[in-house]
Amino acid sequence: MAGHARADPDRGGRVDDRRTDMRIDSTARPWPFSAVLLTTALVFFAVAAAFFAAIGQSPLKVMTDLVLFAAGDGFSREETLLKAAPILLCALAAAIPGRLGLISVGAEGQLHLGAIFGTAMVLSMPGAPAMILLPATLMAAACGGAFWGAIPGWLRGRLAVNETITTLVMNYIGVLMVNALVFGPWRDPVNLGWPATARFPDAVDLPVLPGTRLHLGLMLGALLALACALAFSRGIRAERVRILAMNRKVGETFGLSFPRHAVVLMALGGAVAGLAGIGEAIAIQGRLQPGLSLGYGLTGFLVAWLCGHRFLPILLVSILIGGLLAAGDALQLYAKVPASSAVILQGLLFVTVLAVPGLLQRRTA
């Protein structure tokens, strides 16, 4: 196709149509999501098998044990789902602003701010009944996470500050704020050997399914995933987000406000991560103390990335990652696999998640 130079209205210069045509003609047809997911899983299992063979373990035996320790009996399945709950909430926290094209890696900090705000509510009303204290604590945690998410959303929308950098930096601030409080004014004087708050009262315990250890956090995460799937698939608000994500200038031409949507969606994502934080503090630790999160924020971000910010696949993949984490502890104890194997497997999984879609796209380009 013959090309010629023409004026570029945005830059005031000249562009070559031949370059423009090449860019358009080389646009690759995206792979179906199911194909990307299946290919990623196959590559991961191949890499994991090579890793176990390299450390002198039988790949088939370790993989079999991995499945058994993640879902072999009732206790294993409960442990898998308990590990999946904070991952699911943090993945939703990344996926909600991701629908606007925002890359938020701040769920870790938002999780910690939610735990701080929720703990502040618990400590301020130690004698309140459960029907008041628990909803107030959850609401405070959501507000804390929303506040921590809205800040980078406002900076991105109003000042064009990169939200990936701001959320990453704010993660460290959130973690250090928890440490400052539990080493300082919130430290329980009775518990001299370990920096932590006083144990939370029974009134703030999360409801559990009868006969299990499964608490409200997982059920809430599943309901939020379903609600988000519905909210972002239909309706005028979903269309507005979709338009702004595809082309901000076109959206603003129709009167849509990108800054307002950035703040709202980042705040909503932060609120969900805040619930994960207070859920871990209540259900797992029973108090606020260091080590609240085992990297759930980054894990959730990568789960959201793998699923293309699709909410229902996020629910499934979060459970699979939860099984990997739960089985890692059991592998160390019973299969004599090195303690670092679960962490290495998780790292291999995320490298695979990041690499495979790009490699597939290059093959079709």
Q: What is the pLDDT of residue 168?
A: 97
- Three-state secondary-structure class, residue 340: coil
Residue 8 pLDDT exceeds 60: no
Please state the pTM of the whole predicted model. Answer: 0.86
Residue 340 pLDDT exceeds 80: no
Q: What is the pLDDT of residue 355?
A: 85
Q: Give 28-51 pLDDT, tens digit per residue.
A: 566 777 787 788 888 888 998 898
Q: Where are the domains of the chain?
A: 93-309
Q: Give 268-295 pLDDT, tens digit per residue.
A: 999 999 999 999 999 999 999 999 998 8
Q: What average pLDDT does the chain have?
A: 87
How far is the C-alpha of 245 from the C-alpha of 274, rounded, in Å? 25
Residue 315 pLDDT exceeds 50: yes
Residue 174 pLDDT exceeds 60: yes
E-state strands within 101-260: none
Q: Which of 285, 349, 273, 276 is nearest to 317 (CA)?
A: 349
How far is the C-alpha of 51 from the C-alpha of 45, rounded, in Å? 10
Residue 194 binned pLDDT confidence (cut-offs 50, 70, 90)? confident
Q: What is the pLDDT of residue 29?
A: 61
Q: Mean pLDDT throughout 200-222?
A: 90
Q: Is 363 exposed, middle or buried (0-12, 13-18, 19+ CB in 10 A)?
A: exposed
Residue 335 binned pLDDT confidence (cut-offs 50, 70, 90)? low
